[in-house]
């Protein structure tokens, strides 16, 4: 029996509340069927605690809301853009910023500039939209994360690290001219929100310099990654988060950012770089796909909230509370022996669906099944992160069954209380006690791209 930590104290007080209710059992049963057992297709009104995603679901601060009133909605040269540019320069150390409406738009612009058909993009695991944007211009994403990342029980402190032997293997197999760039994700989402170490980032820079390969980061969860570096990596115990972030970014050629996560805003994203060529190329294409290069799909007020949120999201006390709230939920589940990915990650607790539902075949989609069952049981909305999410092999068309078949309990920032975490934990634990009564699912509708968003399922008989 593990000893549970004290729930973390909140470094804020609540000024505005949004009422929520628990729908009846009858309504939940109906709602999940109407949604084809896909939690993405549920109505928000039918959800009590929404831990589908931490994307765009943060509560903004009074300071960010005040910034919203200072939106300069000029088509060109909005002062909010320059505030955003300054925040990126101060916090991340990059010279140039190209704003986009959210992360995948930044991925689109980077990919169409840097990837030629037939090239590969090595990355520490993968992310759904990132993989898609590598495939659209004719590329392929290949996995270079360390083996430990694929093992839910392994306690490695930096499961997001790159394995240099794997990377070298891809260079030898495909040839140097086939490497478009190396892509590095911070606090790797699909691995369970697991960080990469500063040492690994530094080594990667040296390795890639030897071959003149570009290193492009996905810094969506970089502030939470920086917090883990400070907690776990020797030499950084007392380093300010901003200094850690500046050093991390100094080992890259540029990055994409989905600001809907660590920047505490509901919408926004950007490309940042100090490389003039990457900047000029993406600044030139942003005007085709997003909007002028001083707004890129965001309103002035949204850029202001983002500029302020980028700074706020790096405060040590906030990051400590944030990651500890996630850990608190994880420890409640671990104490009841619910199988979760360890160590507990930065933004979410990931349940190992293969162990939770051992009576199901992979083709019965254990992750999807569990996510739907949690909703039906308690009106808590989670999401599958397993075979449905990864999709099919782009060459053979076959389903891919990754080693990790997970359900993600993703905690929005500053939104739910520790009592909400206890409700979630108790609901999952209760379901775990009758897990063998949960029947599997059959996929009855599959869209062509990013199928997890819109696929529909039917319940099989037990």
Residues marked as catalytic: 75, 127-128, 218, 261, 385, 452
Residue 306 tokens read as 């983002």
How many residues lie near ligand PLP (CB under 6 A)? 15
Part of the chain binding ligand PLP (CB under 6 A), chosen from 122-130, 209-217, 292-300, 446-454 = 122-130
346 binds ligand PLP (CB under 6 A): no
Of 258 and 369, which has the nearer Cβ to ligand PLP? 258
Of 218 and 331, which has the nearer Cβ to ligand PLP? 218
Residue 448 tokens read as 């062509």
Of 193 and 367, which has the nearer Cβ to ligand PLP? 193
Per the CB < 8 A criterion, the answer to whether 365 and 447 are in contact is no
126 binds ligand PLP (CB under 6 A): no
Of 258 and 368, which has the nearer Cβ to ligand PLP? 258
Among 37, 94, 127, 416, binds ligand PLP (CB under 6 A): 127
Of 28 and 301, which has the nearer Cβ to ligand PLP? 301
Among 104, 123, 283, 301, binds ligand PLP (CB under 6 A): 104
Q: CA 315 → CA 80, 234, 369, distances in Å?
A: 21, 20, 38
Part of the chain binding ligand PLP (CB under 6 A), chosen from 42-50, 125-133, 317-325, 396-404 = 125-133
Q: How far is the CB of 190 from ligand PLP (least distance, A)?
A: 8
185 binds ligand PLP (CB under 6 A): yes
Q: Under 8 Å CB-to-CB from 111, ≥6 apart: which residues?
A: 133, 134, 136, 137, 139
Q: CA 3 → CA 72, 296, 426, distances in Å?
A: 51, 48, 17
Site track for ligand PLP across 30-59, x = CB under 6 A: -------------------------x----
Q: Which of 61, 78, 111 has the alpha carbon at shortest distance from 297?
A: 78
Q: How far is the CB of 354 from ligand PLP (least distance, A)?
A: 23
- As a whole number of Å, the CA-based R_g of the chain is 21
Q: How many CB atoms lie within 10 A of CB 326?
A: 23
Give the whole-angstrom CA distance, residue 110 versus residue 181.
Answer: 10
Name the residue number minimizing CB distance to ligand PLP.
103
314 binds ligand PLP (CB under 6 A): no
Q: How far apart are the first and last CA of the chain?
A: 32
Of 233 and 290, which has the nearer Cβ to ligand PLP? 290
Of 28 and 221, which has the nearer Cβ to ligand PLP? 221
Secondary structure element (H or E) that encloses residue 246, with its range: helix 241-250
Among 78, 111, 119, 130, binds ligand PLP (CB under 6 A): 130
Give the whole-angstrom CA distance, residue 53 versus residue 68.
Answer: 23
Sites for ligand PLP among residues 216-235 (CB under 6 A):
218, 220
Sites for ligand PLP among residues 186-215 (CB under 6 A):
189
Give the whole-angstrom CA distance, residue 270 versus residue 89.
Answer: 13
Q: What is the DSSP letter of 103?
A: H
Residues pairing with 441 in the sheet: 459
111 binds ligand PLP (CB under 6 A): no
Rounded to the nearest 10 degrees, the angle between the axes of helix 103-114 and helix 276-289 is: 120
163 binds ligand PLP (CB under 6 A): no
Q: Which of 312, 298, 305 has the alpha carbon at shortest distance from 262?
A: 312
Of 28 and 260, which has the nearer Cβ to ligand PLP? 260
- Block residue for tokens 């068309």: 397
Site track for ligand PLP across 239-258, x = CB under 6 A: -------------------x
Q: Under 8 Å CB-to-CB from 3, ≥6 apart: which residues?
A: none
Among 7, 36, 103, 122, binds ligand PLP (CB under 6 A): 103
Find out whether the peptide bond into 200 is cis, omega within 30 degrees of 0. no
Residue 181 tokens read as 């760039």
Q: How far is the CB of 57 from ligand PLP (least distance, A)?
A: 11
290 binds ligand PLP (CB under 6 A): no
Binding site for ligand PLP (CB under 6 A): 55, 102-104, 127, 129-130, 185, 189, 218, 220, 258, 260-261, 269
């Amino acid at each position: 029996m593990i000893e549970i930590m004290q729930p973390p104290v909140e470094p804020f007080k609540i000024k505005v509340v949004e009422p929520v209710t628990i729908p009846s059992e009858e309504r939940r049963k109906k709602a999940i069927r109407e949604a084809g057992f896909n939690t993405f297709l549920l109505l928000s009104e039918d959800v009590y605690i929404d831990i589908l995603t931490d994307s765009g679901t943060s509560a903004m601060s009074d300071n960010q809301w005040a910034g919203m009133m200072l939106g300069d909605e000029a088509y060109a040269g909005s002062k909010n853009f320059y505030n955003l540019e300054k925040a990126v320069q101060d916090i991340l150390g990059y010279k140039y910023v190209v704003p986009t409406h959210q992360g995948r738009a930044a991925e689109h612009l980077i990919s169409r500039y840097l990837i030629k058909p037939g090239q590969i993009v090595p990355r520490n695991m993968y992310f759904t939209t990132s993989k898609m944007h590598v495939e659209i211009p004719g590329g392929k994403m290949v996995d270079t994360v360390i083996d430990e990342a694929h093992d839910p029980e392994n306690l490695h402190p930096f499961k997001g690290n790159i394995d240099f032997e794997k990377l070298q293997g891809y260079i030898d197999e495909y040839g140097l001219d086939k490497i478009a760039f190396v892509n590095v994700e911070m606090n790797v989402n699909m691995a369970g929100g697991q960080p990469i170490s500063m040492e690994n980032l530094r080594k990667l820079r040296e390795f890639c310099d030897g071959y003149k390969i570009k290193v492009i980061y996905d810094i969506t969860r970089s502030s939470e990654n920086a917090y883990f570096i400070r907690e776990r990596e020797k030499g950084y115990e007392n380093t300010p988060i901003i200094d850690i972030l500046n050093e991390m970014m100094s080992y890259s050629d540029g990055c994409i950012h989905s600001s809907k996560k660590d920047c505490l805003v509901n919408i926004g994203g950007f490309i940042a770089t100090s490389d003039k060529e990457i900047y000029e190329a993406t600044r030139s294409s942003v005007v085709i796909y997003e909007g002028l290069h001083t707004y890129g799909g965001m309103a002035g007020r949204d850029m202001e909230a983002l500029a302020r949120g980028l700074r706020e999201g790096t405060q040590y006390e906030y990051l400590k509370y944030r990651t500890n709230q996630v850990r608190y939920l994880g420890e409640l589940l671990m104490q009841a022996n619910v199988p979760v990915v360890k160590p507990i990650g930065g933004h979410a607790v990931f349940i190992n669906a293969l162990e939770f539902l051992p009576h199901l075949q992979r083709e019965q989609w254990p992750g999807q099944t569990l996510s739907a069952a949690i909703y039906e049981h308690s009106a808590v909305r989670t999401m599958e992160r397993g075979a449905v999410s990864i999709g099919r092999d782009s060459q053979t068309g076959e389903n891919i069954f990754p080693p990790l078949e997970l359900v993600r309990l993703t905690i929005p920032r500053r939104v739910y209380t520790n009592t909400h975490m206890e409700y979630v934990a108790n609901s999952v634990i209760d379901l775990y006690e009758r897990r063998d009564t949960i029947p599997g699912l059959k996929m009855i509708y599959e869209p062509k791209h990013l199928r997890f968003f819109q696929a529909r399922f039917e319940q099989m008989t037990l």
